[in-house]
């Protein structure tokens, strides 16, 4: 295995690859940020519906023979 720590070409390649990952991270954050609000709202509505169904739902009938 060769040691390429000091090779300038290797460092340029590493910088280019890291820049691609950085651009991907920025794009992901740009797209995901507007979806956070509606996602949290949807979770709230689902949880509120489940809690309401527990408190206001029909009680289970017990059959006594």
Cα 3 to Cα 7, 8, 9, 12, 39, distances in angstroms: 9, 12, 13, 15, 47
Quick check: pTM over 0.85?
no
Q: What's the gap between Cα 45 and its chain centre?
A: 19
Q: Spell out the domain ranges in the chain.
A: 7-51
- The span from the CA of 53 to the CA of 51, in Å, is 5
The three-state secondary structure class of 7 is coil
Residues listed for the chain: 65
Q: Give the pLDDT confidence of 3-61 residue by residue, as tens digits.
A: 556 566 777 888 888 899 899 899 888 888 888 899 999 999 999 999 998 888 877 67
Which pLDDT score is estimated for 4? 58
Which pLDDT score is estimated for 48? 95
């Amino acid at each position: 295995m060769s040691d390429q720590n000091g090779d300038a070409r290797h460092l340029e390649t590493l910088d280019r690859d890291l820049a691609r990952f950085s651009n991907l991270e920025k794009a992901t954050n740009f797209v995901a940020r507007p979806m956070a609000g509606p996602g949290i709202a949807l979770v709230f509505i689902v949880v509120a519906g489940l809690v309401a169904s527990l408190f206001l739902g029909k009680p289970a009938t017990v059959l006594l023979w």
